[in-house]
Amino acid sequence: NAGVTQTPKFQVLKTGQSMTLQCAQDMNHEYMSWYRQDPGMGLRLIHYSVGAGITDQGEVPNGYNVSRSTTEDFPLRLLSAAPSQTSVYFCASSYSRRGTGNTIYFGEGSWLTVV
Amino acid sequence: KNQVEQSPQSLIILEGKNCTLQCNYTVSPFSNLRWYKQDTGRGPVSLTIMTFSENTKSNGRYTATLDADTKQSSLHITASQLSDSASYICVVSPLSNDYKLSFGAGTTVTVRA
């Protein structure tokens, strides 16, 4: 049971390049999400999904795309990287019983620098 | 304006001592309040989850309290250890959407020998 696995751990991009952050979970969780963490700020929700084929926007979705073709995977795509997207990205997952306070499990993070 | 405010921003304590971290929130109505521990360079790990009807929840040396009337929560660390050095994050889920969590910026705790 690996939990939530994110790749890559570190990445440097040039402005305008595109890339995909990978996220996979092996706990059969319905809910998956992507957050970014910036210095001095709380984690902010980018996109989330409550099941295969279902995605929705979070607080800061601009410049990012997601898809959920399987229960296990939830990749985050940066369409045209900008320096403002330099951040630490976390993928998270949980069972999808709303309102019951399910434990949310986080990946180890992906450090992205856009130059 | 952030709906979850944590204080202090950082603190230093000696090994073996106790400390209390504060969380004030404006999310209302809310579904549950969580505390997470985040080691440097790692992802957050869940410590406690409390629903709006719970007043306290413990996890080993960590005890969280909740006062829904004043919209305040605290996390008490007892007999601190060097491994407690981390950032502690308060997270509140709105009742309208349990998935759209509001995160505090965290309190960085440094435990010194």
Give yes or no for A2 touching B (CB within 8 A).
Answer: no
The structure tokens listed for A95 are 């069972």
Contact across the interface for B99 and A33, Cβ inside 8 Å? yes
Neighbours of B99 (CB within 10 A): 18
Q: How far apart are CA A30 and CA B37, in angstroms?
A: 24
Tens digits of per-residue pLDDT, B13-59?
A: 999 999 999 999 998 888 899 999 999 999 999 999 998 889 999 99
Is residue B71 within 8 Å of residue B63, measured between CB atoms? no
Contact across the interface for A31 and B99, Cβ inside 8 Å? yes
Contacts of A58 in chain B (CB under 8 A): 100
Long-range pairs for A78-83: beta carbons < 8 A, 24 or more residues apart: A78/A13, A78/A18, A78/A19, A78/A20, A78/A21, A78/A112, A79/A18, A80/A16, A80/A17, A80/A18, A81/A13, A81/A14, A81/A15, A81/A16, A81/A17, A81/A18, A81/A19, A81/A114, A82/A15, A82/A114, A83/A15, A83/A114, A83/A115
The angle formed by the CA atoms of residues B84, B85 and B89, to the nearest 5 degrees, is 85
pLDDT at B1: 58
Is residue B111 within 8 Å of residue B80, measured between CB atoms? yes
Percent pLDDT > 90 in chain B is: 81
Contact across the interface for B31 and A99, Cβ inside 8 Å? yes
Virtual torsion, Cα A96, B54, B32, A39, nearest 10 deg:
-130
Tens digits of per-residue pLDDT, A32-49?
A: 999 999 998 899 999 999
Contact across the interface for B43 and A109, Cβ inside 8 Å? yes
Give yes or no for B88 touching A (CB within 8 A).
Answer: no
Give yes or no for B39 touching A (CB within 8 A).
Answer: no
The overall average pLDDT reported for chain B is 94
A99, pLDDT greater than 60: no
The more confident residue out of B100 and B104 is B104
Give yes or no for A4 touching B (CB within 8 A).
Answer: yes
List Cα–Cα distances, B112 to B42, B60, B80, B85, in angstroms: 20, 20, 9, 9
Give yes or no for B93 touching A (CB within 8 A).
Answer: yes
